[in-house]
Amino acid sequence: MEKFRFALSAVLVLIFIAGLMTVSQAAEMKIAMVTDVGGVNDQSFNQSAWEGLKRAEKDFGIKVAYKESKQDADYAPNMETLTDAGYDLIWGIGFLMGDAIKETAEINPDQKYAIIDFSYGPETPKNVACAVFQEEEPSFLVGYIAGKMTKTNKVGFVGGIKFPLIEKFEYGYMAGVKLANPDVEVLRQYAESFTDAAKGKAITNNMYQQGADIVFHASGGVGDGVIEAAKEKGKWAIGVDKDQNFLAPDNVLTSAMKRVDNAIYDIGKRLIAGEFVGGDTVAYNLKNEGVGIAPTSNKHVPAEILQEVDGLIAKIKAGEIVVPATQEAFDKF
């Protein structure tokens, strides 16, 4: 019996020491991020990324930091600055940093990097982790809400810059509208910017003048203008990336949420546990709570419509509905 107690005590001591080592390793770890041109307070995905890092700081005791990019030319220098500062993992927030991350990673093969919204596929460097999202899924859900709630049978979509990533929002939204009410027309326009709020406001006002009563944006800082137009005209806007209802509580109907914060937190947690996913791409979707609709949706969306949305979520998770992410897939939907 004494031998058993001694052995048990020894095991417990080893577990305790291992726990202390893990805590110590986390406390010494440093993770940083480079924003895209939207900046850390963009009320969109850059801000969500920083919130994910801050949550990791609180839960694991790691050190976190960010560098803001004012223009595309800042991406690579900001990466190099953080690399020289000795951070264990450096994030690039947004697909526009795809080239800068890869080039920097190839120059610094012992440094770990990660990127949001971009995948290099089989050519992903071993020291780079990629996080992508199925943006078409939450866009489909808010599109369904728009299609059910429009009173004019006309809604709008404002995109930032026309890239395949933003088209996922566009076609997912259109498919949701179509399922809810095939008679609804979707007005669409790209701002060719992610920062020009004035252009976003002008485009949205034009859509309202054409009869749209709900406008969804996937446009970063351009969306500030979309929401401002909704507020001034007493119409509806649909937010993106974060729950944007706080920007206009009486005019943001819902938001298509992309949980960049969860991805940042998840990959950071894996790194702390010694399981860095370098060379791989992690996909976030409805199944793993990487995307969804805003929790404030129940402020303005009737309960019966939200129940229908819950049913759609279940069907998407089960594979009964495959949401289109391209023009070709939408045409077949």
pLDDT of residue 43: 80
Name the token pair of 301. Answer: 């969306």
CATH at 104: 3.40.50.2300
Question: What number is the average pLDDT over the span 72-94?
Answer: 95
Residue 19 in 3-state DSSP?
helix
Tell me: pLDDT of 63 over 70.
yes
Question: What number is the average pLDDT over the span 103-130?
Answer: 96
Q: How confident is the model at residue 228 (pLDDT cuts 50, 70, 90)?
A: very high
Residue 230: how many other CB atoms lie within 10 Å: 28
**Residues 196 and 316 both lie in one domain:** yes
**Residues 307 and 171 both lie in one domain:** yes
Structural domain contains residue 312: yes
Distance between CA 299 and CA 140 in Å, rounded?
19
**Residues 122 and 57 both lie in one domain:** yes
Distance between CA 294 and CA 316 in Å, rounded?
18
Query: What is the rounded average pLDDT for all residues in the chain?
Result: 92
Structural domain contains residue 66: yes
Tell me: pLDDT of 15 over 60.
no
Q: How confident is the model at residue 290 (pLDDT cuts 50, 70, 90)?
A: very high
Q: What letter would DSSP give residue 47?
A: H
Question: What number is the average pLDDT over the span 179-185?
Answer: 98
Q: Which residue's entry shows tokens 């805003």?
A: 294
The rounded percent of the chain whose pLDDT value lies above 90 is: 88
Distance between CA 31 and CA 18 in Å, rounded?
22
pLDDT of residue 13: 42
Distance between CA 211 and CA 233 in Å, rounded?
12
**Residues 218 and 178 both lie in one domain:** yes
- Residue-by-residue DSSP string for 272-325: HTT---TT-EEEE-TTTTSEEE-GGGGGTS-HHHHHHHHHHHHHHHHTS-----
* Enclosing H/E stretch for 41: none
The predicted-structure confidence for 22-55, as pLDDT tens digits, reads as follows: 444 555 899 999 998 888 988 888 999 999 999 9
Q: Which residue has the higher pLDDT, 283 or 44?
A: 283
Please, is 241 exposed, middle or buried when counting C-beta atoms within 10 Å of its C-beta (0-12, 13-18, 19+)? Answer: buried
**Residues 317 and 194 both lie in one domain:** yes
Residue 226: closest CA among 240, 235, 218, 237: 237
Q: How confident is the model at residue 17 (pLDDT cuts 50, 70, 90)?
A: very low
Question: What number is the average pLDDT over the span 187-201?
Answer: 96
**Residues 251 and 116 both lie in one domain:** no
- Residue-by-residue DSSP string for 147-208: HHH-SSSEEEEEESS--HHHHHHHHHHHHHHHHH-TT-EEEEEE-S-SS-HHHHHHHHHHHH
- Quote the pTM value: 0.87
Q: What is the span of the domain harbouring residue 109?
A: 2-129+260-284
Question: What number is the average pLDDT over the span 123-150?
Answer: 98
| Overall domain count for the chain | 2
For the chain, give the number of residues. Answer: 333
Question: What number is the average pLDDT over the span 142-148?
Answer: 98
